[in-house]
Structure 1
Amino acid sequence: MVSYVTNIFKTKLQQNIGSIIKRDVCVKSEKLSNVIESNKEPLQSQETVFGQPTFTTHPHLIREGELLPCIKIEEFQKRRKKFMELIFTDILATYGKPMHTFVIIPSATKVYMTEKIPYVFHQNTDFLYLSGCLEPDTAIVFNGSCNDDLVSTLLLREQDSHSQLWDGPRTGLDVAQQMFGVEQVSLLQHLPQLLKNYTEKHRNHLLYYDAQNSDNLSYHWIILNHIQHNNITVYKSCKYFIDQLRVIKSSAEQNLMRRAGEISSIAIERAMKVTKPGMTEHQLFATVDYESRMLGAKILAYPPVVASGKNAKIIHYIDNNQVMKDGDLVLMDAGCEYHGYCGDITRTWPINGKFTKYQQILYEIVLDVQKQIILYCKEKISLDFMYQKMINLLGQYLRNEKILKHNIYDINELNAITMELCPHHVSHYLGLDIHDVKTVPKNIALQSGMVVTIEPGLYIREQEFLAPEFWNTGIRIEDNILITDSGYEILSEKCPKEVQKIQTIMSQ
């Protein structure tokens, strides 16, 4: 059944490709600097519509000169230039000379819950980072052999009244070039002809494209067909180069992440205030979701963990369907997405508002370890180094506080036990994605502009080597940290985590 449908799909694609008129389909312009200088009239007119918010249509979100909230069009242009500088440098290092290059970065496509009912659209973050375009089924392509002759082309969907009646407006080619600050604009359906034209002009060009991770089959098959039937020297993903840029946040991005951290912090504090025995985990989930949206976030950044009692031992527990019991703790891992940028905070607190003696012992171990690890951010050491420090510190506390039934002095044995009780890393990069820039290793020194999490935890099951009074308890404390020239800034500082502060809030 799958192969039959796929064959039909391929046949229709080939028919569509063959019907495309062989001509130059791009809307061309003068150099980008001249375009920006000469186009000073507002984009919006009575007849003009856009596929995403603009300063004119949404002044409460976007200021004049911005393409997305807080981010000016010039920043996207600089990103594209730096990105291609990395590509061209890679080519010089590999081949010893400049080579003509074609780079394709697609948007995300809509995903449907059921027939004609889509899930909320979420843009491919690499595409968003370079284009600023929020529309589905689009792409940005780059071609050239050096930055002097670099051309960026944004490929958009065709405007048609039927689709816009059901799904809303689409940005037209007449305004897209100025709006997004690219050299050329065209329609996505013309991608095959663009590839053909470039191949005919540069027979031995390089193609950068992530062939392993495409979620839009319509242009994926087109690109694979191009690769297979033309003399292309090499093709590979450009994810690594984008991540090298994304890992360092600009001042505009830092401001967006400050607000994401602030909204997430306030929402979690308000969830603490309403917590009481008899509530369901789902009701607490609804509280943090509601408060985040009321404070300006569009959505939560990920399905939150709201794990009470034994559920907190499950690190990625997202069922959130249990009644919360008197005497238990609840662990909430949640954060909002604010104009694309993520907050990611974890707090653990007593459902009845008061820590028991043994809960407080475990909690203060995790809290003290977290505070010590955060201090290392000032030294700009690697995340892997911090992880090892976390394991060492947790092990020492477990032994000194008699949580382990028997004293263990062999460091390797102690570390092995600690890694069993905290089986995750102490940190990850944070940004447009929760686990951001995956190709950036965790063994490199931190740099100013990076945003990371610090999140030690302990997950105590019914294990014979542990004192039974601590069994069935899960605790994690997580903050978002911006690395600065002078040290660090805790973006989630407004979220309470001191024992006395939490108990005071919950008693009000």
Structure 2
Amino acid sequence: MTAAPEADYAARRARLAARMQPGAVAVLPTAPETTRNGDSEYPYRHDSYFYYLTGFKEPDSVLVLVAAHGERPARSILFCREKHPEREIWDGFRYGPQAARDAFGVDEAHPIDAIDTELPRILANAPALYYALASNAALDARVQGWVKAVRALARSGTTAPDAFHNLLPLLDEMRLVKDDAELAIMARAGAISGQAHARAMRAARPGVFEYELEAELLYAFRKSGAQFPAYTSIVASGANACVLHYNANDRQTRDGELVLIDAGCELDGYASDITRTFPVNGRFSDAQRTLYELVLAAQEAAFAAIAPGRPYSGFHEAALRVLVQGMLDLGLVDRSLYASVDDAIAAKAHVPFYMHGTGHWLGMDVHDVGAYRDTTHADKPSRPLRAGMVLTVEPGIYVRPGEGVPEQYWNIGIRIEDDVVVTDDGCRILTGNAPKSVAEIEALVGRGE
């Protein structure tokens, strides 16, 4: 396992408490278990915010932080399930409060069943409460109950919090820049996913079903220690590749088609996100190769636009210019209608063939938290990149049949996606072991194990 050291979680809690109003309290629950059907639950996955601050993976848990005030230092308090030998026979190991306190470095730990008694005591005379405002109706109701319990003590001179703040924006900004432990996990997740894509390419051949290729991915993820796929895998052959979020994965491939695979694993709470597109028979046709190399060139332009201080929007703009120039050159966009690439972009002439952005933040969530614009300025410009930010770079082109669209490109969908971390002088690709060049792909597809 490559989870972050206990000291990293404690440091994150300390950073968050330092950003809070002195003496204020923050309440952060983890995700609940969810029933799938009957008495069976979906595989449990913790809440990302909660895990970011604790490293604790058990359900029915709540973290409470009390910010420092005067001579009183900040405190961290974990509420979790008690030890229960009988339930552990059925459901597995539980830490219990005492062991959890020692193992995860919190200052106090209590049984989760005591939270309705303890929270009013903790909130008494606190000036403010931070929690995920309006994001969870059950939490909103419990917070109201705790605050009402404190207000009932007003005659004794006890005061309830009179300010309520959304906790999540503070955590979003913290999570946006990854530390060394996070980057190590994400590099490993990227490597596992790159190996999985290579495995799927080797297993490809005309007639294979999309779900067979998906099975190769899932096997490779789990075999290398990843706990989950980071999202539902997309294995899209032929015209399905022109459907951005296709995930039925039930079609049989045909000779001469491309297969677009968008898949990544989750390792120790962190996601990877890779897309590769390849010919199922191992050889690109002329039309497929032309569009593939256009998308590849757009990705290279995007990489070159990533560096600290440059705007987030810059790498999308760089990729878009390459794509639109290619669309004009290939007749996908009518050159006679536009005087320049800029004119075609302004008219959104590319949208029928490229309708999404060129990336997104990546971290504990596939589409990770953090603002894309600098909200401290009135015009909200694209925010500048910083070293330690992790993002995806995923240009694509999707050609559906249509009037005026050259027929040789019909039903070709191509996307190429890699995960990159912003470095001090540019960016570093975390997923470079996934085959990507035409030569690499043609040498690998259908070659088996």
Name 1:422's counterpart in structure 2: 354
Aligned to 1:163: 87
Question: What is aligned with 2:37?
Answer: 114
Three-state SS of the structure 2 residue aligned to 1:84 is: helix
Cα separation, 2, equivalents of 1:474 and 1:273: 20
Does residue 329 in structure 1 map to residue 258 in structure 2? yes
Question: Counterpart of 1:448?
Answer: 387
Verify: 1:485 aligned to 2:409, yes or no. no
Provide the secondary structure at the position in 2 that maps to 1:419.
Answer: coil
Please give the alpha-carbon distance, in whole angstroms, between the structure 1 residues aligned to 2:323 and 2:337. Answer: 13
CA distance in 1, matches of 2:11, 2:67: 16
* 2:7 is equivalent to residue 74 of structure 1: yes
- Structure 2 counterpart of 1:360, one-letter code: R
- Normalising by structure 1, we get a TM-score of 0.80
Q: How does 1:271-350 map to 2 (within 5 A)?
A: 271-350=200-279
2:113 aligned with 1:189: yes
Residue 440 of structure 1, CA deviation: 5.1
TM-fit CA distance, 1:384: 1.6
What are the within-5 Å matches in structure 2 for residues 30-429 of structure 1?
61=1, 69-88=2-21, 98=22, 100-146=23-69, 149-200=73-124, 202=125, 205-214=127-136, 217=138, 220-227=140-147, 230=151, 231-378=160-307, 380-410=309-339, 411-415=342-346, 416-429=348-361
For residues 191 and 352 of structure 1, do their structure 2 counterparts lie closer, same or farther at Cα, with a shift above 3 Å needed? same
Query: Which letter does structure 1 place at the counterpart of 2:349?
Result: I
In 1: Cα distance, 2:121 partner to 2:46 partner: 28
Name the structure 1 match of 2:433: 494
Do the aligned partners of 1:342 and 1:434 also contact (CA within 8 Å) in 2?
Answer: yes
Distance 1:174 1:414 in 2: 60
Q: For 1:102 and 1:282, locate their aligned partners in 2 and report how far apart those are by CA, in whole Å.
A: 48
Tell me, in whole angstroms, the C-alpha distance in 1 between the residues paired with 2:425 and 2:371: 26
Rounded to whole Å, the distance in 2 between the matches of 1:490 and 1:199 is: 46
Paired amino acid for 1:149: P
Whole-Å separation in 2 of the counterparts to 1:313 and 1:227:
51
Structure 1 contact 365–397 (Cα < 8 Å) conserved: yes
The residue identity in structure 1 corresponding to 2:15 is K
1: CA distance between counterparts of 2:186 and 2:312?
20
Separation of aligned partners in 1, 2:212 and 2:390: 30
Q: Deviations over 1:369-419 (max 9, x none)?
A: 101111111354222222222222211111123333543424344450213
Give unmatched runs, 5+ long, in structure 1.
1-60, 62-68, 89-97
Shift of 1:290: 0.4
Q: Deviation at 1:237? A: 2.0
Task: Tell me the TM-score normalized by structure 2.
Answer: 0.90
Amino acid in the other structure paired with 1:421: F
Identity %: 31
Q: Give the match's secondary structure for 2:101.
A: helix
RMSD of aligned Cα (Å): 1.9
For the residue of structure 1 that corresponds to 2:445, the secondary structure is helix
SS of corresponding position for 2:99? helix
Residue 46 (structure 1) aligns with: none
Tell me by how many angstroms 1:272 deviates. 0.4
CA distance, structure 2, for counterparts of residue 487 and residue 385 of structure 1: 13
Question: Which shifted more, 359-368 or 226-235?
Answer: 226-235
TM-superposed deviation, 1:438: 4.0
Q: Name the CA distance, whole Å, in 1 between partners of 2:387 and 2:3.
A: 20
Q: What residue is the counterpart of 2:155 in the other structure? A: none
The structural deviation recorded for 1:342 is: 1.1
Q: Is the 8 A contact 2:205 2:446 kept in 1?
A: no
Equivalent pair of 1:240/1:440 in contact (CA under 8 Å): no
- How many angstroms apart in 2 are the aligned matches of 1:146 and 1:486? 40
Q: Assess if the C-alpha contact under 8 Å between 2:25 and 2:130 holds in 1.
A: yes
Shift of 1:87: 2.1
Secondary structure of 2:20 counterpart: helix
Gaps of 5+ in 2: 152-159, 375-381
8 Å Cα contact 1:126-1:242 kept in structure 2: yes
Aligned residue identity for 2:392: T
Report if the CA contact (8 A) 1:107-1:137 is conserved: yes
SS at match of 1:254: helix
| 1:57-86 Cα shifts (integer Å, max 9, x gaps) | xxxx3xxxxxxx342111111111111122
Give the AA of the match of 2:434.
C
C-alpha distance in structure 1 between counterparts of 2:129 and 2:407, whole Å: 60
Deviation at 1:354, TM superposition (A): 0.7
Higher relative contact order structure (alpha carbons within 8 Å, sequence separation ≥ 6): 2
Contact preservation (8 Å) 1:239, 1:439: no
8 A contact 1:405–1:467 mirrored in 2 = no
Relative distance call for 1:79 and 1:286 in structure 2 (3 A) is same
AA at the equivalent of 1:78: A
2 CA distance for matches of 1:178 and 1:211? 30
Contact 1:458-1:476 within 8 A present in 2 as well:
yes
- State the 1:158 CA deviation: 2.1
Residue 507 of structure 1: CA displacement? 5.7
Counterpart CA distance in 2 for 1:391 and 1:440 is: 18
Q: What is the rounded CA distance, in whole Å, between the counterparts of 1:403 and 1:264 in structure 2? A: 33
- CA distance in structure 2 between the aligned counterparts of 1:303 and 1:485, rounded to whole angstroms: 33
CA distance 1:70–1:176, change in 2 (3 Å): closer
Between the aligned partners of 2:38 and 2:440, the Cα distance in structure 1 is 49
How much does 1:339 deviate? 1.2
